[in-house]
């Protein structure tokens, strides 16, 4: 009557309705997924009874035919697979053997149906979890194909996307000005290559004006999912904070400089000899004035960095001179805290850097190490070779920095652990990172050999080219 293939509806394939058929006949020859059907016809008088029983169990038919060494298993009126029979066993397929094969196919049909139900239930559970997760995200969500056409979107009250109701099926570019559309297209193209990207854009608002919008895009099976967040108020608050900090810092810096200078003069004996308790109080006041001035300088530096007003003058710098200067700057402070400052120069040479800013960056690392070191501990400042670069490391004997915190501590106002000596602002490491990266260097932290923290700065070594006349003189 016709061929029966895996996955094809049996009724349509054979021109019959399987649930109503009384007899099923297969003729001709065909390869069916592991079973070879040969010429001839085989009538199965048991099929109607089996069909009725299986219909009640929500399975149309468990098995259809036996011939030429195989049996087709049908589930839900579809060919599921072929049950192969070893060569030479055909003569045994009579009476009880056929019934056994039918029973086996029935069990196979039940198993398939249970698996289908479990799969459908699991799919429903996953879809429900995904829907709950997406509904809990405060961002607007847009699903876009590779051509930039909107496939689906969800708006929120917190982040109004303001797409029209008929946006699905239209390019996202149609709802953005040209410059914003080009920026989004570039971001989508990069995301399709497999990257999660977060960038900020300026988009027009339907009620007028421009909004600061953060767009995070990630690839998903040839499409791009964009999470869009309105950060206008957040950025405005940050600008207000920065302006306030800058204004207060400028207003404090001038009188504080005067106070610090006056305390230095008094400590030096300009008003007469200073002794005992008076000397201690003057020293305490001077130390705190210096610390406060350093804090104000850090705040001003952070603002300059954020606004791109931080300029560097790069030139060739001798590493051993940098180490010597750092030792001179921090020796007294280390001794005052009961610490030993050890310096070693294992590598000499030139690096390209701003000398003042390099000293400032590494000074922040040394100060950080002293603040986290136990009393009587040691802080080591060492210069080493590092594959075409020179590494200046600052090692302490403190608690160290956990791997999960080794990126976070370089952010502004972040600290990994409480400091042993005084309270820090969390700005020193951030400023050090910004300075080093602007000098094309690398900064990081590792575990020291004694279990503490080892902060390091790496700068590319400057290769010194020997003059030709000098090389000639050396050869002779």
182-236: pLDDT as tens digits: 888 889 888 888 888 999 888 877 677 788 888 999 888 888 888 888 888 888 8
pLDDT of residue 93: 42
pLDDT of residue 16: 32
* CATH class entry, domain 315-462: alpha beta
Q: Where in the chain is the domain with CATH 3.30.450.20?
A: 140-230
Nearest residue to 345 (alpha-carbon basis) of 321, 365, 320, 322: 320
Q: Which residues pair with 455 in a beta bridge?
A: 394, 445
pLDDT of residue 60: 31
Q: Strands 150-154 and 350-353: what pairing?
A: unpaired
| R_g of the chain computed on alpha carbons | 39
Domain 234-306 annotated CATH 1.10.287.130:
yes
pLDDT of residue 331: 93
371-398: pLDDT as tens digits: 999 989 999 999 999 888 999 999 999 8
What's the rounded mean pLDDT across residues 134-159? 80
68 neighbors 41 (Cβ within 8 angstroms): no
pLDDT band at 28 (very low <50, low <70, confident <90, very high): very low
pLDDT of residue 243: 82
pLDDT of residue 158: 63
What does the block give as tokens for 292? Answer: 């406060």
pLDDT of residue 315: 93
What's the rounded mean pLDDT across residues 103-121? 70
pLDDT of residue 465: 61
What's the rounded mean pLDDT across residues 139-164? 80
The CA-atom distances, in angstroms, between 121 and each of 23, 430, 445 are: 35, 51, 49
Per-residue pLDDT at 421 exceeds 90: no
Of 84-93, 98-107, 324-333, 462-471, the poorest mean pLDDT is in: 84-93
Residue corresponding to tokens 């820090």: 424
pLDDT of residue 338: 92
What does the block give as tokens for 360? Answer: 């400032």
Q: Strands 30-32 and 210-220: what pairing?
A: unpaired
Sign for the pseudo-dihedral over CA of 60, 62, 66, 70: positive
Using CA atoms of 61, 62, 67, 69 in order, give the dihedral in degrees to the nearest 10. 160
- What lies within 8 Å, CB to CB, of 242 at 6+ separation is 303, 306
Could you tell me the pTM of the whole model?
A: 0.55
The gap between the terminal CA atoms of the chain, to the nearest Å, is 103
Q: Where in the chain is the domain with CATH 1.10.287.130?
A: 234-306
361 neighbors 435 (Cβ within 8 angstroms): yes
The architecture of the domain spanning 140-230 is: 2-Layer Sandwich (3.30)
Per-residue pLDDT at 431 exceeds 90: yes
pLDDT of residue 139: 83
Q: Where in the chain is the domain with CATH 3.30.565.10?
A: 315-462
Per-residue pLDDT at 412 exceeds 70: yes
429 neighbors 363 (Cβ within 8 angstroms): no
pLDDT of residue 325: 95
What does the block give as tokens for 198? Answer: 């977060």
344 neighbors 383 (Cβ within 8 angstroms): yes
- What lies within 8 Å, CB to CB, of 307 at 6+ separation is none
């Amino acid at each position: 009557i016709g061929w029966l293939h895996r996955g094809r509806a049996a009724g349509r394939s054979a021109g019959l309705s399987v649930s109503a058929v009384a007899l099923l006949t297969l003729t001709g020859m065909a390869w069916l997924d592991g079973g070879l059907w040969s010429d001839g016809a085989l009538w199965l008088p048991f099929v109607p009874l089996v069909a009725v029983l299986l219909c009640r169990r929500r399975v149309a038919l468990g098995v259809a035919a036996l011939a030429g060494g195989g049996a087709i298993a049908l589930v839900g009126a579809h060919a599921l697979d072929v049950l192969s029979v070893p060569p030479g066993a055909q003569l045994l397929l009579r009476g009880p053997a056929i019934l056994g094969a039918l029973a086996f196919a029935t069990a196979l049909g039940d198993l398939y149906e249970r698996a289908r139900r479990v799969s459908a239930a699991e799919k429903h559970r996953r879809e429900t979890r995904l829907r709950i997760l997406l509904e809990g995200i405060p961002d607007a969500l847009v699903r876009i194909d590779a051509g930039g056409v909107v496939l689906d979107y969800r708006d929120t009250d917190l982040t109004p996307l303001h797409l029209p109701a008929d946006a699905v099926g239209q390019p996202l570019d149609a709802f953005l000005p040209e410059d914003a559309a080009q920026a989004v297209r570039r971001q989508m193209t990069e995301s399709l290559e497999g990257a999660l990207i977060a960038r900020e854009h300026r988009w027009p608002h339907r009620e007028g004006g421009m909004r600061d919008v953060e767009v995070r895009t990630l690839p998903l099976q040839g499409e791009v999912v964009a999470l869009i967040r309105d950060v206008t108020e957040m950025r405005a608050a940050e600008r207000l904070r920065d302006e306030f900090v800058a204004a207060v810092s400028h207003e404090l810096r001038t009188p504080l400089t005067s106070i610090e200078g006056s305390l230095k003069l008094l400590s030096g004996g300009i008003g007469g000899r200073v002794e005992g308790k008076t000397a201690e109080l003057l020293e305490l006041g001077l130390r705190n004035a210096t610390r406060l001035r350093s804090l104000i300088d850090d705040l001003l530096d952070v603002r300059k960095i954020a606004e791109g007003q931080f300029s560097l003058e790069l030139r060739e710098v001798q590493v051993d001179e940098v180490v010597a200067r750092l030792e001179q700057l921090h020796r007294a402070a280390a001794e005052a805290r009961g610490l030993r400052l050890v310096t070693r120069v294992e590598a000499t040479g030139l690096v390209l850097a701003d000398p003042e800013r390099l000293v400032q960056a590494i000074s922040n690392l040394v100060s950080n190490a002293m603040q986290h070191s136990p009393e009587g501990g040691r802080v080591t400042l060492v210069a080493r070779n590092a594959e075409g670069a020179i590494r200046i490391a600052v090692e302490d004997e403190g608690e160290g920095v956990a791997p999960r915190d080794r990126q976070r501590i370089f952010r502004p106002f972040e600290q990994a652990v409480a400091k042993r000596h005084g309270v820090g602002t969390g700005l020193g490491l951030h400023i050090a990172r910004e300075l080093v990266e602007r000098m094309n260097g690398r900064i990081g932290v590792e575990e020291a050999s004694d279990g503490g923290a080892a902060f390091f700065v790496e700068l590319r070594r400057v290769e010194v080219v020997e003059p030709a006349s000098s090389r000639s003189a050396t050869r002779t």
